[in-house]
Amino acid sequence: MVSPVMAPTISLSFQPLSLRLKHPFGTASGTSADSHNLLVKLHYKDWIGYGEASPVWYHAETIETASSLLAAWQSNEELLGHDPFAITAIEKRMNAVVSGHASVKAAVEMALHDLCGKILKVSVLKMLGLSGFTQPMTDFTIGIDSLAMIEQKTNEAIAAGFQVLKVKLGTAYDKEIIKSVRSVTALPLRVDANGAWTPKQAIAMAHLLAQENVQLIEQPLPKSATVDDFRFVKEHSPLPIFADESVSTSSDVARFANAVDGVVIKLAKTGGIAEAMRCIHTARAHGMQIMLGCMVESSLGISAALQLSSLVDYLDLDGALLLAQDPFYGSISCNQGRLTFGDGVGLGACLHAGSASP
């Protein structure tokens, strides 16, 4: 009797991915000199798909909880199964196993997309049917720092040719920060308060920023603020109001419809490309604008987000550009704020020698 041939399973491995920043990066939530991410690898036959998890405490994840979850999934053969193209089914199984932990799910899902692209020998962009479109230019973020360092960072961004800047606010000296940036450049600005203002402060700052060639304000209120709080600010603001930390999934997008002008979509919040696309379609159905954002990530994570860039209005995909050294290469390049894809298959990201095991 001939024994049945067992189909190969998808196996998972992971390791720390520590990213050092060129400059300490300050937001209203704190300042960091590096980002502790995780590199996820999915193995299937002779192929390896790469994904990147970027857990942060304000999304209810830490490097410890993310590592524990991935360690548990290593021994769960039924979770990933035998078919790397069953991305939606695997997504549903991950959601059934654990709620939250979106960055871990995003890493697994982007690794599946990378794996499938390599198997088919095409880019993820082509696999999604999104090639042939153009995308907006990315902004470059000026983090909270001393006024002297803010001017230096702004000058560096201008020297690199960026056409739009994003300025982090949420301090006791927000007005001085804007004056420092404006002393250097008249480029269009986007402002991100990371939830540091009250509704009254947000409205007052919106009127001030409207005089400074600011395009929009991102997350003026805390994550705990109600939809009505955001609606109140939107109704009294001369500038468009975007929700970031308050919006993770497509149901959140629908909940904030008519309360904000736009939403910020990040794979680390949605749990991957599939839910990010659902967020985009939901936002469009409600007439909302969309910014595609990121965490501090390598070009692997940025490449995964960039696949959807032609579907949005604004890009904030500068995470890898903030790094002192990027462990990946080949997937994207940046010329004066214009991100372009490499010519590789899958996500196109290749590890630098010595950055991690192959």
pLDDT of residue 353: 72
Tell me, yes or no, whether 102 and 163 share the same domain: no
In a domain, 1, yes or no: no
pLDDT of amino acid 6: 61
Q: Which residue has the tokens 């002393």?
A: 183
Q: Does 247 share its domain with 162? A: yes
How do 11-27 and 350-351 pair as beta strands?
unpaired
Domain boundary residue, one of 71, 92, 121: 121
pLDDT of amino acid 61? 95
In a domain, 266, yes or no: yes
Instruction: For residue 233, give the CATH number of its domain.
Output: 3.20.20.120
241, 234 contact by CB (below 8 A) = yes
Of 90, 121, 152, the position where a domain reaches its end is: 121
Residues 287 and 178 in one domain: yes
Residues 55 and 140 in one domain: no
Confirm whether 2 is domain-assigned: no
Predicted confidence (pLDDT) per residue in 308-347, tens digit: 999 999 999 999 999 999 999 999 999 999 999 999 999 9
**Predicted local confidence at residue 1, as pLDDT:** 44
Q: 107-138: string of b/e by CB count within 10 Å (b at 16+)?
A: bbbbbbbbbbbbbeeebbbebeebeeeebbbb
What CATH number does residue 30 fall under?
A: 3.30.390.10
The answer on 268 and 335 residing in a single domain is yes
Predicted confidence at residue 354, as pLDDT, reads 63
- Structural domains counted in the chain: 2
Q: What is the pLDDT of residue 357?
A: 40
Same domain? 114 vs 158: no
pLDDT at 3: 45
Last residue of some domain: 88, 121, 154? Answer: 121
Is residue 288 included in any domain, yes or no? yes
Instruction: Kindly state whether residue 135 falls inside one of the protein's structural domains.
Output: yes
Q: Per-residue confidence of the chain (358 residues) as pLDDT tens digits?
A: 444 446 789 999 999 999 999 998 999 888 889 999 999 999 999 999 999 999 999 889 999 999 999 999 998 989 999 999 999 999 999 999 999 999 999 999 999 999 999 999 999 999 999 998 889 999 999 999 999 999 999 999 999 999 999 999 999 999 999 999 999 999 999 999 999 999 999 999 999 999 999 999 999 999 999 999 999 999 999 999 999 999 999 999 999 999 999 999 999 999 999 999 999 999 999 999 999 999 999 999 999 999 999 999 999 999 999 999 999 999 999 999 999 999 999 999 999 876 654 3
In this structure, the answer to whether residues 181 and 137 fall within a common structural domain is yes
Spatial contact of 193 and 217, defined as CB atoms under 8 Å apart: yes
Range of the domain at 158: 127-351
Q: Are residues 199 and 216 located together in one domain of the fold? A: yes
- The reply to whether 29 and 111 lie within a common domain is yes
The reported pLDDT for the residue numbered 127 is 96
In a domain, 358, yes or no: no
- Residue 4 located in a structural domain: no
Task: Please list the alpha-helical segments (H only) found in 81-133.
Answer: 87-97, 102-120, 124-127
Question: How would you class 105 by CB atoms within 10 Å of its CB: exposed for 0-12, middle for 13-18, buried for 19 or more?
Answer: buried
Sign of CA dihedral 250, 252, 257, 262: negative
Instruction: Specify whether 102 is located in the same domain as 147.
Output: no
Beta partners for 37? 17
301: enclosing H helix or E strand: helix 299-306
315 lies in the same domain as 201: yes
Verify that 227 and 307 share a domain, yes or no: yes
